Amino acid sequence: MAGSFRFKQFTVANERSAMKVGTDGVLLGAWVQLRDNDLEILDAGTGTGVIALMLAQRSVSTGSRISAIDIDPLSVEEAASNFSNSPWRERLEAGCLDFREMEGGRFDLIVSNPPYFVNSLKAPEQRRSTARHTDTLSYAELVGSAVRNLAPGGRLAVILPVQEYFAFIDEAVRRGLAITRKTLVRTTENNPPKRILIEASSGECSVEEETVLTIQDSVGFTAPYKKLTRDFYLKF
């Protein structure tokens, strides 16, 4: 998907970032709940900035401010350029920062499409490998950094491979986060789920039932998938 990726209300340059625009990021940006009091949002590991842009589009009524960080300088440059070319440039900010070194407890919502390969073959290109593997941001570090940077009652939302669910949950629960939403994602009805979307809260809350999202059926994209992403994808 090199070049530019066009959405309904913005375009994402997709050339310099270590990780390109993909289904995982779009799913997370469309799925995470936005509340009226989510005024300070952080996108940790922003890449091209696509999730931050989606959240900016979705939060026009509240005027939320979205901070986007990444440890890869070229990704930050590309995200900043994408932000400046968007309708919400005044509410978006990109910075070259390591999430593990942040603290402050001011974010109402933290979203992350994190590096999640733990013991797999690494990509030959170092920048892409860094973006994909947990060597530079383990689940313990991800959750610990989120807890330090969430405001009271704030939430963390991530997308992970299903096989990493329990490792992530163990860290979340150990650090006082409660799981409030989760959705399993499968490509077709005949395939097992490959991804899971998770929302965790630092405050007292009830746990929602687990749901399953199927992307395609025998005739094309499913109605639930279209409904979730129709404000973004041109084809819907």
Residue 182 bridge partners (DSSP): 198
66 or 130: which carries more pLDDT confidence? 66
Mean pLDDT of the chain: 90
pLDDT tens for 190-209 read 999 999 999 999 876 767 67
Q: Determine the pLDDT at residue 129.
A: 45
In a domain, 152, yes or no: yes
In a domain, 28, yes or no: yes
pLDDT tens for 93-124 read 999 999 999 999 899 999 999 875 444 444 45
In a domain, 158, yes or no: yes
In a domain, 235, yes or no: no
Q: What are phi and psi of 54, to 5 degrees?
A: -60, -40
Name all contacts of 18-22 with Cβ < 8 Å and 24+ positions apart. 18/47, 18/72, 18/74, 18/75, 18/127, 18/128, 18/130, 18/131, 19/47, 19/48, 19/75, 19/113, 19/128, 19/131, 19/132, 20/47, 20/48, 21/48, 21/50
In a domain, 16, yes or no: yes
Q: Please tell me the pTM assigned to this model.
A: 0.90
Number of domains comprising the chain: 1
Q: Determine the pLDDT at residue 133.
A: 39
Q: Determine the pLDDT at residue 136.
A: 61
Domain span holding position 121: 4-178
CATH code for the domain in which residue 28 is found: 3.40.50.150
Element (H, E) at 217: strand 216-217
Q: Determine the pLDDT at residue 1.
A: 44
